[in-house]
Amino acid sequence: MVMDITPTTLLTLALLGYVSGSLSGLVFLRHEKLANIFSFGFATLAALCGALACVLSLTAGPNAEAVYLQLMPTLIPYLQFTVHLDALGAFFGLIVSLLGCALSLYSLGYVRGFYGRKNVGVLGAFFNLLLLATTLVFLADNAFFFLMVWEIMALSAYCLVSFEHEKTETRNAGVLFFVMSHIGTGCIMLGFLLLFQASGGYGFDGFHALGERFSAAFHDRNNPDFPAALHQLLVRRDAAFLLFLVGFGVKAGIVPLHTWLPAAHPVAPSNVSALMSGVLIKTGIYGLTRVFFDFLGTPPMWWGVTVLTLGIISAVLGVLYALMQHDLKRLLAYHSIENIGIILMGYGAALMFLHTGHPLLATLALIAGLYHTINHAVFKGLLFLGAGAVLHATHTRDMEQMGGLAKRMPQTAFFFLVGAVAISALPPLNGFVSEWLTYQSLLQGFGTTDSLLRLMFPIGGALLALTGALAAACFVKAFGITFLAQPRSDAAANAHEVSPTMLMGQAILVAACVFLGLFPTLFLKVLDPLTQQLTGLQISKDLTLANGLVLSGVNQAGGTVSTLGIAVLSVGLLLVPFVLWLAFAQGTKTRIGPTWDCGLKGLTPRMEYTATGFSKPIRMIFKALFRPSREVQREYDFSPYFTTSIRFEAHVEEIFETRIYRPLQRLVLSLSRRMRALQAGSLQAYLIYIFITLLLLLVFAL
Amino acid sequence: MKPDLLAILLQMVLLLLLSPFISGCIRNWKARLQNRRGPPIVQPYYDLAKFLRKDMVISEHASWVFSAAPYVVFITALLVGLMVPMVTTRAPLSLFGGVLAVVGLLALGRFFLALGGLDPGSAFGGMGSSREMTLAALAEPALILALFTVAITVGSTDLSHIVTTAQQSGWDLLNPAHLMAFAALFIVLLAETGRVPIDNPATHLELTMIHEAMLLEYSGRYLALMEWGASIKQLVLMALLVNIFLPVGLAPDGSVAAFGLGLVIFLGKILVLSAAVVLVETANAKLRLFRVPDLLSAAFVLATMALLSTFLFH
């Protein structure tokens, strides 16, 4: 019997694969090689199946069978373990599977660095569990089930972050992640409870139907005899919006809820950092998409304004703080905040357009956000893998110790450069495409409303340009200081290229970057079922011109761009330098010589520009934000002009931590100290508390 | 719809041949205005020919990125040039990208230029790269906002579309929104082409240079490509400025007579703008590095005010 390859079978295989990967990690706890091969091998295959399932289901067309899976029988009312692969879930499932595949392949080589030091089996088990839980988050069809897998995801991520728990930094980051993550989960729970109150069930279908009721009530709100019950419904909806925004915002890393992100992402093993930055924070974006565009109905104006503003703030602050880092992975983590901001700019614009009744533009803005979501997953995954390769080769994350790696690790350098160009939104790669779509929707948005709010769109566009240019500056620094010039330490000087599986993992993501960059019109077709589900429109045809060569705004007059054309033409234009060479330079020779050293005795790595020096102008220009402080101590023998040794220390204040979180933390600690009086340790007292609580609850119930 | 091969070729030839001339004019006129005799106007052509024939010395610390940078800089400048309408209202590559692609491609060139500056491991190159990227980061929002102001009135980011609409509606240059957007773009032009209040193209004093510092290690044909790329970029930005705000005389179609007339008018406009650049360069001293952000934020404020006044007058 030949088994039909349907999304359902593939999906089942993928889930089983993750389970087996997880179990084999535990079975081979004492055999690190076997644990590595089996757990990450299973993960690679499972992710491959998952990716295929998602692509099949996205391209299946409107008449395809819905993909439902019942994982377990329903034992408790409301708690149904149903998996439903709808278009939105499939899109995010594609992201986790694509990245999971590349990362697992990379891990096969990467975790060898832990042999003899750490337990690889544990890493493999939790890695698979995280992939499984994340996949299920995107597929869950019921709020209870969603929260369960959400929690499993958070816990397995916590275990992975704390993997190298012998370092204090790691432990602190792990705890911060744990606390923040649970604040978020609490908000999401409350949000779902509000939705449950209104719809009477926990199924996502019920929530979807609720969305239509919300919309109807919202359109009716200016009616003179608008019932008070409906008015209350709308107030609850606003509360749910805020709760979900905070809850999912923590996970996504929106400023000011972002502080856990730059702490937790760098300390995890690099394959895990890539998974966290690429996929885990996207679960927040998934939640926001699901709730905003599927459950909550037509939004009021202020939702869009809030989201757009938060997006702009996150984008600009994320990149500014990223510029100040010289820890390569921390720098990348801050860039995740920036990119989440860019995604939210698309979402905020989409919400505003939905409010003003421009579904076409809303779809464009939504597509911009979704496109940037997959783009960020791909290039940030790639960059973290590159950083991991560098860490693997040099055993340091500090850029000031690196340099000259382009010669020692040529492939990794090339892959990292591709990622850097992509994340800086430079044509012709994928970051440019999604930012182009964002710009287009912002530009077209100017005509949608007459209020002063429309000024937000061009100003947002200008700040997006600022973000892009600062990101480019940051990646010139990240790539230039890490890979170019002379090595700044022995570790960097003795670095070697990493193993083939690690390179292959990166190559997959490079290919994805190039594909998403050069063939956007092909990829937009995949988004059609998704926008059909969320806004009721399919606009890939409107965005495609000249047989898919050219990407256009919603109308051709609005502007067009062709990344493929640009790429092909730039290869063609190489003819010009070639002709010049033929005409003039054929007889010339090339000599390798020392860099100009002003007639001194040769340059040393200490004379090179440093990462801190590179970003100094920006630190000075934005000093109101950074509040830089520095401390210089000189020692000299007989005159201050002849310094014998110098010590220099520079700090940048992380304003959210010092101004918001530290005071908050002190407040919480002092409150809990007072609460301790209640916790006297005597059983009788506790029984009395329980009794009083019960009485109070009874009083309330009556 | 299809990109016209002949138009591409013609515009490419125009870019390649005209750009050194404009650089030469600016250099020569500036010298004259400062009571020096100055190099002949055709000097940049001699320089380029000389550089192309010279042997190259490449730093022992440099990697392949150093060699890739000149090509990227040169080709992105050419591509941008093909997307901006110069003599005719229709740019040969307008279908391949508008305002946003222009800004993006310029940024791509700058990205590699800065990497090329860092690669040989000299402190000068790093300093130049750091300053270039910082100033570009401040100039870019002003550039985008000023261009957005124009794009919003037309409802398009397509430069050919913008220019055609401008020509038809006969915008007068006295419109305050346009004057302010023009001023903002002019400041950005000075910053992007490394002109005096921001950078000094003539200096070789190590601590003050920005653009030149990144080129310090380049020689031979790589230097030729870098220099040529820079002057093409300068011509393109000037064309962008004059054709958006003064779309007089752009040939609407491909007829030879209209093309000839368009070419003459285009040359005239560019030369007038070059004269303005010369005046600004002569009348001002170079700003201290940390005063430049003030100037660029002034450009941003001008662009914002341009936007506000468009909003108020509509």
Is A622 within the bounds of a domain? yes
Q: Is B278 on the interface with A (CB under 8 A)?
A: no
Residues A660 and A180: their CA atoms lie apart, in Å, by 14
Q: Which of A426, A435, A453, A582 has the highest number of chain B CBs within 10 A, making it the mutation to test binding with B?
A: A426
- Same-domain status, A424 and A515: yes
Does residue A44 carry a pLDDT above 70? yes
What are the C-alpha distances in Å from A693 to residues A74, A699, A700? 32, 10, 11
Tell me, what amino acid is at B51?
Answer: F
Closest CA to A577 of B88, B77, B307: B77
pLDDT of residue B18: 95
- CB contacts under 8 A, B 33-62 vs A, are 49, 52-62
Confidence of residue B221 (pLDDT cuts 50, 70, 90): very high
Beta-carbon separation of A620 and B307 below 8 A: no
Angle of the A430-445 helix axis to the A500-518 helix axis, nearest 10: 30
Please tell me the distance in Å from A590's CA to the nearest CA on chain B. Answer: 5
**How many structural domains comprise chain A?**
4
pLDDT one-digit tens code per residue, A197-218: 888 888 888 999 998 888 888 8
Angle of the A410-423 helix axis to the A359-394 helix axis, nearest 10: 150
Please tell me the distance in Å from B34's CA to the nearest CA on chain A. Answer: 31
Does residue A480 carry a pLDDT above 90? yes
Q: Which of B82, B114, B121 sits opposite A603 (nearest CB)?
A: B121
Beta-carbon separation of B143 and A465 below 8 A: yes
- CB contacts under 8 A, B 190-209 vs A, are 206
Q: What is the mean pLDDT of chain B?
A: 89
Residues B186 and B273: their CA atoms lie apart, in Å, by 10
- Same-domain status, A25 and A76: yes
Please tell me the distance in Å from A459's CA to the nearest CA on chain B. Answer: 7
pLDDT one-digit tens code per residue, A460-472: 999 999 999 999 9
Is A42 within the bounds of a domain? yes
Q: Is B298 on the interface with A (CB under 8 A)?
A: no
Among A577, A592, A626, the domain boundary falls at A577
- Same-domain status, A71 and A114: yes
What pTM does this model have? 0.94
Among A617, A632, A651, the domain boundary falls at A651
User: Would you say the C-alpha torsion A354, A358, A360, A365 has a positive or negative sign?
Assistant: negative
Q: Which two tokens stand for residue A1?
A: 């019997």
Q: Where are the beta strands (DSSP E) in B49-113?
A: 56-59
**How do A643-651 and A629-636 pair as beta strands?**
antiparallel
pLDDT one-digit tens code per residue, B282-298: 999 888 888 999 999 99
- Same-domain status, A644 and A673: no
pLDDT of residue B283: 92
Q: Is B311 on the interface with A (CB under 8 A)?
A: yes
Confidence of residue B1 (pLDDT cuts 50, 70, 90): very low
The reply to whether omega before A428 is within 30° of 0 (cis) is yes
Lowest mean pLDDT among A70-79, A226-235, B162-171: A70-79
Helix ranges (DSSP H) in A276-409: 281-290, 301-323, 328-356, 359-394, 405-408
Does residue A29 carry a pLDDT above 80? yes
With contact defined as beta carbons under 8 Å apart, do B266 and B218 qualify? Answer: no
pLDDT of residue B178: 84
Chain A residues with beta carbon closer than 8 angstroms to that of B134: 473, 617-618, 621
Residue with the bigger pLDDT between B95 and B63: it is B63
With contact defined as beta carbons under 8 Å apart, do A319 and A328 qualify? Answer: no
pLDDT of residue B130: 94
Q: Give, in degrees to the nearest 5, the angle at Cα B312 between B306 and B314.
A: 100
Q: Which of A477, A557, A603 sits opposite B155 (nearest CB)?
A: A557
- Same-domain status, A566 and A616: no
Contacts 24+ apart (CB under 8 A), A488-491: A488/A400, A488/A401, A488/A402, A488/A403, A488/A404, A488/A605, A488/A606, A488/A608, A489/A394, A489/A396, A489/A401, A489/A402, A491/A394, A491/A395, A491/A396, A491/A401
Chain A residues with beta carbon closer than 8 angstroms to that of B122: 595-597, 603, 607-608
pLDDT one-digit tens code per residue, B240-249: 999 988 888 8
Residues near A683 by beta carbon (within 8 Å), at least 6 away in sequence = none
Helix ranges (DSSP H) in B119-219: 123-154, 159-169, 176-192, 211-215
With contact defined as beta carbons under 8 Å apart, do A372 and A434 qualify? Answer: yes
pLDDT of residue A642: 79
- Same-domain status, A553 and A613: no
Tell me, what DSSP letter sits at residue A291?
Answer: I
pLDDT of residue B73: 96
pLDDT of residue B269: 94
Helix ranges (DSSP H) in B155-291: 159-169, 176-192, 211-215, 220-245, 256-283
Q: Which of A338, A399, A563, A580 has the highest number of chain B CBs within 10 A, making it the mutation to test binding with B?
A: A580
**How do A82-85 and A544-545 pair as beta strands?**
unpaired
Helix ranges (DSSP H) in A536-574: 563-573
pLDDT of residue B173: 57
Q: Which of A455, A621, A623, A625 has the highest number of chain B CBs within 10 A, making it the mutation to test binding with B?
A: A621
Predicted ipTM?
0.95
Q: Which of A455, A566, A620 sits opposite B101 (nearest CB)?
A: A566
**How many structural domains comprise chain B?**
1
pLDDT one-digit tens code per residue, A247-300: 999 999 998 899 999 999 999 999 999 999 999 999 999 999 999 999 998 999
Please tell me the distance in Å from B272's CA to the nearest CA on chain A. Answer: 29
pLDDT of residue A290: 94
Is A151 within the bounds of a domain? no
Q: What are phi and psi of A695, to 5 degrees?
A: -60, -45
pLDDT one-digit tens code per residue, A495-529: 999 999 999 999 999 999 999 999 999 999 889 88
Q: Give, in degrees to the nearest 5, the angle at Cα B126 between B113 and A414.
A: 55
**Three-state secondary-structure class, residue A203:** strand
Confidence of residue A1 (pLDDT cuts 50, 70, 90): very low
- Same-domain status, A629 and A684: no
Please tell me the distance in Å from B130's CA to the nearest CA on chain A. Answer: 5
Q: Which of B55, B90, B140 has the highest number of chain A CBs within 10 A, making it the mutation to test binding with A?
A: B140
- Same-domain status, A469 and A346: yes
Q: Which of B63, B124, B127, B208 has the highest number of chain A CBs within 10 A, making it the mutation to test binding with A?
A: B63
- Same-domain status, A565 and A692: no
What are the C-alpha distances in Å from B226 to residues A569, A590, B16, B118? 19, 17, 13, 15
Does residue A4 carry a pLDDT above 70? no
**Three-state secondary-structure class, residue A276:** helix
H or E element in which residue B197 lies: none
Chain A residues with beta carbon closer than 8 angstroms to that of B94: 560
Minimum CA–CA partner of A566 in chain B: B96
Buried b (16+ CB within 10 A) or exposed e, B215-225: bbbbbbbbbbb
Minimum CA–CA partner of B128 in chain A: A614
**How do A67-70 and A82-85 pair as beta strands?**
antiparallel
Chain A residues with beta carbon closer than 8 angstroms to that of B12: 576
Please tell me the distance in Å from A599's CA to the nearest CA on chain B. Answer: 13
Beta-carbon separation of B93 and A603 below 8 A: no
**Three-state secondary-structure class, residue A651:** strand
- Same-domain status, A625 and A546: no
Residues A441 and A366: their CA atoms lie apart, in Å, by 9
Residues A293 and A346: their CA atoms lie apart, in Å, by 13
Confidence of residue A640 (pLDDT cuts 50, 70, 90): confident
With contact defined as beta carbons under 8 Å apart, do A27 and A52 qualify? Answer: no
pLDDT of residue B314: 58
pLDDT one-digit tens code per residue, B107-129: 999 999 999 999 998 888 999 99
**Three-state secondary-structure class, residue B204:** coil
**How do B56-59 and A590-593 pair as beta strands?**
parallel
Residues of the domain holding A631: 609-651
Is A169 within the bounds of a domain? no
pLDDT of residue A556: 67
Tell me, what DSSP letter sits at residue A294?
Answer: I
Q: What is the mean pLDDT of chain A?
A: 90
Residues near A675 by beta carbon (within 8 Å), at least 6 away in sequence = none
The reply to whether omega before A256 is within 30° of 0 (cis) is yes
Confidence of residue A97 (pLDDT cuts 50, 70, 90): very high
Question: What is the average pLDDT across A339-368?
Answer: 94
Residues of the domain holding B21: 5-313
pLDDT one-digit tens code per residue, A661-690: 889 989 999 999 988 888 877 888 889 999
Beta-carbon separation of B217 and A593 below 8 A: no
Question: What is the average pLDDT across B55-81?
Answer: 95
Among A141, A161, A190, the domain boundary falls at A141
Residues B23 and A509: their CA atoms lie apart, in Å, by 43
With contact defined as beta carbons under 8 Å apart, do A618 and A320 qualify? Answer: yes
- Same-domain status, A127 and A34: yes
Residues A298 and A294: their CA atoms lie apart, in Å, by 10
Is A370 within the bounds of a domain? yes
Residues B227 and B45: their CA atoms lie apart, in Å, by 11
**Three-state secondary-structure class, residue A631:** strand
Minimum CA–CA partner of A563 in chain B: B96
H or E element in which residue A189 lies: helix A168-199
CA atoms within a 13 Å half-sphere pointing along the CA-CB vector of B44: 22
Does residue B160 carry a pLDDT above 70? yes
Closest CA to A401 of A413, A415, A391, A411: A391
Chain B residues with beta carbon closer than 8 angstroms to that of A451: none
- Same-domain status, A636 and A670: no
